[in-house]
A = this chain, B = another copy of it.
């Protein structure tokens, strides 16, 4: 069956949540958003491109930082309202210069920092 981007379910802002996972380790790196055009760009260029909600513009991941995401596979969930991208991440996925964004753990009611920022 041909993939039709219009068959996905976008929210009222025209966006769909995207989970980015390192393809060969399974590490969940980050979650961000795409609109229909960002999905098309990501598939066409194989460079993961999000839609920045704060800047209201396309966000070619790593364009300024060099921390690019090469698209290995794109998966659609059962409800067609979430995307999982398997990627090859260069350097840190997180803007805090950590490999992934989920570096805070809730343990016995406290927040614990699991990862320190990378030193380039």
User: A residues bordering B, Cβ < 8 Å?
Assistant: 1-3, 17, 19, 21, 25-28, 30-31, 43, 73-79, 82, 84, 94-96, 98, 101-107, 109-111, 114
A108, chain B: closest CB distance, angstroms? 9
What residues of chain B lie closer than 8 Å to A77, measured between beta carbons?
30-31, 101-102, 104
A78 and B106 contact, CB distance less than 8 A: no
B78 and A3 contact, CB distance less than 8 A: no
**Chain copies in complex:** 2
What residues of chain B lie closer than 8 Å to A98, measured between beta carbons?
78
What residues of chain B lie closer than 8 Å to A27, measured between beta carbons?
26
What residues of chain B lie closer than 8 Å to A74, measured between beta carbons?
105-106
A41, chain B: closest CB distance, angstroms? 14
What residues of chain B lie closer than 8 Å to A30, measured between beta carbons?
77
